[in-house]
Each structure stands twice: as structure tokens, then as C-alpha cells.
Amino acid sequence: MQLSIRATAISAFALRLHALITLWSGEWMITLRQFESELDVRVTDILSRKKRRKLMYDDSDLAVSELYFFISQMLRFASEWIQESIDDLHALGKQIESKHFSPEAKKKDPEGSFLPDDPDAQTAVLDVFRQNWKSLTSTQRELADELLRRIKKMQEEVNSLREGLFTATAVSEATKSKQLNHYILVFTVVTIFYLPLSFVAALYALDLFSWDDPNQKVSFVVTLILVAGTTYGFAGYLVWFVRKPKRRQRLKNAKRVKSLGKLFKRQRKKDGSGSDIDSEDSDSDS
């Protein structure tokens, strides 16, 4: 009678777990729907320029990147927790079977065992327990597979949105960098334009020159023209040379060939001196 009550208690416990697993799956579904609402992107959102730009570009606080990171990490944790729940239920079944439904446990602790004394009845009770627990774990596995499938799909959506965000942000940053380079170029050109004037003016402002001399103004103008012309011409040549990648590559190749040629000549000289020494040694031996 006591064994029957214990077995009935285990069956009731399994039924209760079955109901809890259904509730567990429903709670996870509610949580995943909340995440899906944050990732819900429709065709109208892509067609609308305003909504599309919200998906493509982040604000100064990086709120969109933070949201995608948060959802991605929470989905990873959810997948791990669901898998741990499956493993825990399997481990619980093994623990109950080894403690209450195994012949070894009945020999060690007859009072704690749920098996009857009849060997045939023991096999029947153990089979019933295993079937009930297998049904329980199968139900959990089916529900968990659906949850994991939805989590995997959401992870792919998050990764797709993050890649689009990072790509658009990289293009935007590259465009801003290019514009900044144009501004720097304008500033550099203006600086180069006034640099010779400032240099010559500072030079002639020294006490070495006297502006009372009538020829001093002519000397100032000539010096200014020479310095400015040289500076502008040299700067223009550098700009022309640097803007041609092929010229830079040819220059690198020429330097490389020249260095290899020098190395080859040094090696030939070493080989020649070595051959001369060998010939002298052979002559002395003869």
C-alpha cells in the first residue's frame, strides 16, 4: 500500500512538471515576443526614408547599438538557460530512477525504494516510470526546440541589423573623414600661400636691414617673388607627384631594383676576390 502511494506521488509529480513545462514555455514565448517587437522591421519601414535612416544610423548616445547588443546577449543567455533546463530535467529523472526505482537502491535502502518485492512487478514499475519521464522530457524537448528555433531566427535578425548599422556607420564616417580632408586641404593651401609672405616679412623686419635705403624695397620685392615662387613651385610638384600612385610605385620599384643591383655587385666582387685567392693558392702549390 505504501509503495502504491509513493508511486502515485511520483506520477502526480510528473504530471505537475508537465503542467509547469507548458507554463515555462508560455512565459518564454511572452519574453521572446517582447524582443521580437523591438526587432520588428517591415517593408514600410524600409520604404520610408525617415524610418530607414533610424535603422541605418545611430545617434550620439549609441542607443541603437546598445539595444542590439542587449538583445543579442539576452538571446544568448536565453538559449543557454533553456538548454540547461533540458539537462536539469534529464538529470532529475536519472536521479529519481537511481534513488527510488533501481534494484541496487532497493537493496541498499528498502524503505526509500518504490519498487515492489516481485521482480516482474519491479520491471513493470520501472518501465512505467521511464515511459512517463520520457513523455515528459519529449514534451519539454519539443517546446524547447520551438523556443530555440525562434531564438536562432531572432539572433540572425539582430546580426543582420547590426551589420547594416555598422556598414552604414562606417560609410558615414568615411564620408565625414573625406570632407574633413577637403577642409584640411583648403587650410593647408591658405597656409602655404601666406607662408612665404610671413617669412620674408619677418626676415626683413630684423635690424640687419634698413628701410631708409631706396634699394631695400626692390630687394624685398625680389626676395619675396623668389621665395614665393620657389615655395609654390615645389609644393605644386609634390602635390602632382603624390597624387599619382603609379609614380610612387615606380619610384619604389626603381629603388628596390637599384638596391638589388648594388647587392648583386657586392656579391660578384666577393666571388671574384674569392676566385682570385683560389687561383693564387693553386699557383703556389704548383
Q: What is the pLDDT along the chain (286 residues), one digit of tens a residue?
A: 444 556 667 778 888 888 899 999 999 999 998 888 887 777 777 778 787 777 777 777 788 888 888 888 999 999 999 999 999 999 988 888 787 777 776 677 666 666 667 777 777 777 878 888 888 899 999 999 999 999 999 898 888 888 888 888 888 888 888 888 888 878 888 888 888 888 888 887 776 666 666 777 778 788 888 888 888 888 888 777 766 666 666 666 666 766 766 666 776 676 655 444 444 444 444 4
Cβ neighbours of residue 217 closer than 8 Å, sequence gap 6 or more? 211
Specify whether the CB–CB gap between 114 and 125 falls below 8 A. Answer: yes
> Cell 682570385 belongs to which residue?
276
* Residue 30 confidence (pLDDT): 92
* Residue 81 confidence (pLDDT): 93
* Residue 105 confidence (pLDDT): 66
Which residue stretches of 39-118 are H helix? Answer: 43-47, 49-56, 63-100, 103-108
* Residue 163 confidence (pLDDT): 86
Spatial distance between the Cα atoms of 31 and 240, rounded to a whole number of angstroms: 62
* Residue 76 confidence (pLDDT): 92
Helices and strands, number each (H, E), in the chain: 8, 0
* Residue 143 confidence (pLDDT): 93
33, 34, 38, 39 alpha-carbon torsion, rounded to 10°: -20
- Nine-digit cell string for 202: 619677418
Cβ neighbours of residue 165 closer than 8 Å, sequence gap 6 or more? 55, 56, 57, 58, 64, 65, 68
> Cell 514600410 belongs to which residue?
44
* Residue 286 confidence (pLDDT): 42
Phi, psi of 185 (to 5 degrees): -65, -45
> Cell 542607443 belongs to which residue?
63
The residue type found at 236 is G
In 3D space, the residue among 149, 117, 173, 150 whose CA is nearest the CA of residue 32 turns out to be 150
Spatial distance between the Cα atoms of 231 and 198, rounded to a whole number of angstroms: 12
- Nine-digit cell string for 50: 525617415
* DSSP H/E element including 273: helix 245-285
